[in-house]
Every structure is written in structure tokens, then in C-alpha cells.
Chain A
Amino acid sequence: MKKPIIATASLAGCFGCHMSFLDIDERILDLVELVHWGKSPINDIKTFEQDCDIALIEGGCCNDEHIHTLRDFRKHCRILVAVGECAIMGGLPAMRNNIPIQECLEEAYLNTPSTAQANPERILPNDAELPALLDKVYPCHEIVKMDYFLPGCPPRADLIYGALTALVTGQEAELPYEVIKFD
């Protein structure tokens, strides 16, 4: 049987979910037996060389590039898994959702103790190369259809491993009480 191909992405996240994935420790060797790796920050492959079967998405969407990336993943992957609170509900970045964007930018670039002195001309980042911030931080499923959700900040390594091997081997994921936690 052809081995399924796994891809991963980090959007508006802190990479903690990827780190938790790596916390599966030596079981990663079992996984290597079962799957091929496609585009992922773990192997630094940057483009889709071929379509993938399963993609793990960490983080929600806080700028236009995240939206673009997420849509690209939807196009090239069969199953999209939202990994972690940020992907599922916006998480920490979504705490800005009730603060006007102008206020966020001014706080970050003009008013904090570390930037007040360092930015005497009071410049807000405005290069055309930079992704444009969205009005709000959006959970992934509000942008594209997501197929599975693994909650936690980050999700327990056992949850990620259990869900992934279940998807790859076509079995039911075992989700004991301790592995589903929101923190």
C-alpha cells in the first residue's frame, strides 16, 4: 500500500503545537515507518511537490498570508486537522479581537517600554511585502472546512499521536479522558 503523506503548517500560532507533536519522542520512528513527509516546517520543505493525505494545521488566521496558506492546504490535502486552541478558536492571538487594530499596533510598536525609545519616528510597519493584518483573528474552520479538531494548548502529544495513527491506519482514535484537555 502507498504510504500516506503528511504535511504540517504553523499559522498564527507559537509553534508549541509542533513542539508537542515532537514530544511523541521515539514513536516518531514508528510514524516514519507509516508515512511520508510532505511540506512542513519540521523538514523545511516549503512547497507542495505533490498532494498530501493529512495536514496538521497549528494556529488561526491573523493576516492575509495565513488565509492564503490555509486555502492552499485545503486545495492540496485530503484531510485537514485543526491542532490546538489557536487553530480551533483563535487562541491567544484572538484575545485581540475586541481591541481596535490601531490600538494593538500602537501598543506594540509605539508605546511599550522596549519600543517607545527605539522607534523615535513612530513608524508603524507598512512595507508592501508584509502580510496585511486582518480585522480579527479567525479560527481555521471559519475560513475553510476542517475535518478534525484536536483541542489543547498544546494538545497532548498522546492525543496527536493517537489521532494521527488512527487516521493513517484507518482505525478509531482512542481518546482517553486525560488526553483531551483545553490547556
Chain B
Amino acid sequence: MSETIATASETITLTIDGQEIQAKAGQTILQAAQKNGIYIPTLCALHATKENGLKTDIAPGTCRICTVKVNGRTMAACTTPVAQDFIVENDTEELNDLRKTIVELLFVEGNHFCPSCEKSGSCDLQALAYRYQMLSPRFRYAFSSREVNAESPKLLFDRNRCILCRRCVLAITTEDGKQLFGFTKRGDKSGIIMDEELVKNISEEQAQQAMHICPVGAIIRKEKGFDTPFGQRKYDHNPIGSETVCTTCNGEKS
């Protein structure tokens, strides 16, 4: 192992679903779980990998799909730091039903017409719906009125599918750190806006990265479409979470 071995005071012991694990002070429950190959679902939090081009993990804490129970209280695993002797419940019927409910709410709140969505098959929201066997949401569809922005030469921005996770806001920036996406308004009027000038000059690689970072099909790169055949898409064969953490870095930040 290349990392320096943590001194006793830096190592924290906690249990997740009865399994005792070691974590480092400062890690979140999610990071500790990922490091130990335990799956906690995420939609807004994203682990930094070579593939997604992130330098550090992000955890906006907006979606609450990672909700776990810590010593009996519900908390977001991606924003809660580990502490000694935490007893964490994760893969329980109650929490999985709560997560399914969140997925259902996201489905009825936006307009998710999967058959026409380029992200279908590789979409994290859809994959969670598969994982929790959502056959039909238990809420009424809102059929919200949302705009599509197709002005930019490289990116299509479809607000119908945006789940307001904030990943794009945090992760997609220019070389000198300017944000390409931002939040606007509040409450049920909240939305994501693009800096049209900056997005106009986006490179093909960055357009691809933006599409990759977005957990759903709200950001789609243009001039290239549906290029992964059915059967080869990310979640065609195995449910989301069946692969444990990133194997190249073993959940460890470089």
C-alpha cells in the first residue's frame, strides 16, 4: 500500500449493516462504505475517477438518495463524516423503500420519457428505478412545463430530465475555474442555467465530460447520438451498484 499507515488516533471503527469497517477521520460515511466495497446509492455525490475527470469527490447533498440511519437517525451518507462507533443502517427494507420513493418523486416531478432519451440504459435515475423495481410511481405525474435549450452548438440541455443534483455546477468549469452551469431561482422554480457564451466554446471532450457527469439525460452532447448499442449500455445487464467501487484506485483519492 502506498498510503501512509494511519495512526491509531486517525482510524475510526464503525459498523454498516452489522459489518465492522475501518475509516479515516474526515471521510464521509459514503467514502468509508465505498472503500470497503459496500454499496450506498448516490445521485448527486460522485467519486472522483480518471474517467469522469474529477480531481476530488463531490457531494452536494441535494438528492438524499444516500440516506442511511446513523444511530437510529436518518442522515445523508455523502455529507456525514464518520465518527467512532457509529452504527449505520444502509441496506434495509425501510431505507430502500424510502429511496424508491425518492426515485418515484423524481420521475413524476420531471418529464422522463425514457424511450426517447439518449441516456436511457446508462442513466443513474433509471437504473435506480430498475434496482428498486419501480413498475409505476405511486404519485401523480406533474407534467411540469420545462424548457429545452438547444441553442449551443455542442450541448443540448433538456430541463425535463434535470433532477437539480448540482453536479454540473460543481464539476464543469473552464480551465481557469469559471462555472459553465449555475443555479437559478428557488423552491419549485429552481433550475439550472448555462453560461451560453462559455458553453458555446466548449470542447468535444468537455461536452462528453458534461454528459458523463450528469447522472440523467439533461445534458446531451450534440452531433453524435445513440452510439452505444442496446445490450452494451451501462446498466443493460447488471443493476447499478452491483459493481463495487472504482477498482483502479480502490476508493482511495490520489
Chain A residues within CB distance 8 Å of chain B: 82, 85, 88-92, 94-95, 97-98, 136, 139, 141-142, 148-151, 153, 175, 177-178, 180-183
Are the C-beta atoms of A136 and B143 separated by less than 8 Å?
A: yes
Distance to closest chain B CB from A105 (angstroms): 19
Q: How many residues of B contact A (CB 8 A)?
A: 26
Q: What are the residues of chain B within 8 A of A181 when measuring CB–CB?
A: 130
- Min CB distance B203 to A, Å, is 30
Contact at A180–B133, with CB atoms within 8 Å? yes
Q: Is B136 in contact with A177, judged by CB distance below 8 angstroms? A: no
Knowing A177-B238, A183-B115, say if A141 contacts B129 (CB, 8 Å): no
Contact check, A180 vs B141: say whether CB atoms are below 8 A apart.
Answer: no
A115 vs B144: C-alpha distance when bound (angstroms)? 30
Q: Which residue of A is nearest B141, CB measured?
A: A89
Contact in complex: A92, B136 (CB < 8 Å): no
Chain B residues with Cβ under 8 A from A148's Cβ? Answer: 135
Q: Could you say which residues of chain B place their CB within 8 Å of the CB of A139? A: 141
> Which B residues form the contact surface with A (CB < 8 A)?
111, 113-117, 120-121, 126, 129-130, 133-137, 140-141, 143-146, 236-239
Asked whether, in the complex, the Cβ of A180 is within 8 Å of the Cβ of B135, the reply is yes
**Contact of A97 (CB < 8 Å), options: B136, B143, B239:** B143
> Closest B-chain residue to A91, C-beta based?
B113
Q: Which residues in A have their C-beta under 8 angstroms from that of B116?
A: 92, 95
Q: Is A178 a contact partner of B237 (Cβ separation < 8 A)?
A: yes
Partner of A183, one of B121, B136, B143, B145: B121
A contacts with B: majority SS: mixed
When distances are taken between beta carbons in the complex, the residues of chain A under 8 Å from B115 are 85, 91-92, 153, 182-183
Give the interface SS of chain B, mostly helix, strand, loop or mixed.
loop
Known: A151-B135, A180-B135. A85 touches B114 (CB 8 A): yes
Is A149 within 8 A of B114, CB to CB? Answer: no
A182/B143 in contact, CB under 8 A: no
Q: List 5 A-B contacts (CB under 8 A).
A: A94-B141, A136-B143, A178-B236, A182-B120, A182-B126
B140 to chain A, nearest CB (A): 7
Contact B238 A182 (CB under 8 A): no
Contacts of B136 in A (CB 8 A): 82, 88-89, 141, 149, 151
Bound Cα distance A151, B114 (Å): 11
Are A177 and B113 in touch, CB under 8 angstroms? no
Query: Closest chain A residue to B129 by CB distance?
Result: A182
The answer to whether A98 touches B135 (Cβ under 8 A) is: no
**Bound-state Cα–Cα, A142 to B141, Å:** 9
In the complex, residue of chain B having the shortest beta-carbon distance to the beta carbon of A177: B239
Write out the residue numbers on chain B whose beta carbons fall within 8 Å of the beta carbon of A177: 130, 237-239
Q: How far is the CB of A27 from chain B (nearest CB, A)?
A: 22
C-alpha gap A35/B65 in the complex (Å): 43
Which residues of chain A are within 8 angstroms of B236 by Cβ–Cβ distance? 178
Q: Which residues of A contact B114 (CB under 8 A)?
A: 85, 153, 182-183
Q: Which residue of B lies closest to A155 (CB)?
A: B135
A79 to B16, CA, bound (A): 42
Give bound CA distance, A163 to B117, whole Å: 26
Chain A residue at smallest Cβ distance from B115: A153
